[in-house]
């Protein structure tokens, strides 16, 4: 198997303000741009992919320059529906929000959105196709997509999807012999 590098996009205003943000196509925040400019990746030759969302496109350009790449929207983040761009504090008294976060929030669907289970299925189907292509790949994507891939690929680690979610601008290299954190 050729290596696959999973890199989370840089910080957005939604990250800084602790907003639910999945399907909203936000740019990087100035802080996110500054942090990415400090990172240095030394990766072997690979093709480049993004989810096609602005924040992943900007991250790719900041980390690797103006490189040819493909957009694969199946690697986009979960759609939080009605809860997009809101904080817990704004939503904590909303009965629909309480119903969503109560119980199995992987299966619960936010109004107008997508369940964690549906997002995971979408991402894992796309990842299976990516692995079958067997080309060294750098994928700039989202924390939820990376967490879904890593939890599936490395179940023996017994980490939750939250524990697998890398910091913005960071990620994992999936290798023949396992994985390593990057950078």
**Residues 6 or more apart from 80 whose CB is under 8 A from it?**
20, 21, 22, 23, 110, 113
Q: How many CA atoms lie within 13 A of 42 on its CB side?
A: 0
Catalytic residue list: 9, 77
What's the length of the chain? 183
* Residue 11: CB atoms within 10 Å: 22
Strand partners, 28: 12
């Amino acid at each position: 198997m050729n290596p696959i590098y999973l890199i989370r996009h840089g910080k957005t205003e939604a990250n800084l303000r602790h907003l639910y943000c999945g399907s909203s196509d936000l740019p990087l925040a100035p802080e996110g741009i500054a942090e990415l400019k400090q990172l240095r990746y030394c990766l072997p030759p690979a093709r480049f992919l993004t989810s096609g969302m602005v924040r992943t496109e900007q991250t790719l350009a900041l980390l690797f320059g103006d490189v040819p790449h493909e957009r694969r929207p199946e690697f986009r983040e979960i759609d939080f529906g009605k809860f997009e761009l809101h904080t817990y504090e704004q939503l904590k008294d909303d009965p629909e929000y309480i119903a969503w976060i109560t119980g199995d929030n992987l299966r619960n669907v936010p109004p107008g959105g997508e369940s964690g289970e549906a997002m995971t299925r979408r991402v894992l189907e796309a990842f299976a196709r990516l692995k079958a292509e067997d080309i060294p790949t750098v994928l700039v994507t989202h924390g939820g997509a990376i967490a879904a891939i890593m939890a599936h690929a490395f179940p023996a680690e017994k980490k939750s999807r939250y524990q697998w979610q890398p910091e913005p601008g960071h990620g994992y290299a999936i290798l023949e012999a396992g994985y390593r954190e990057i950078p």
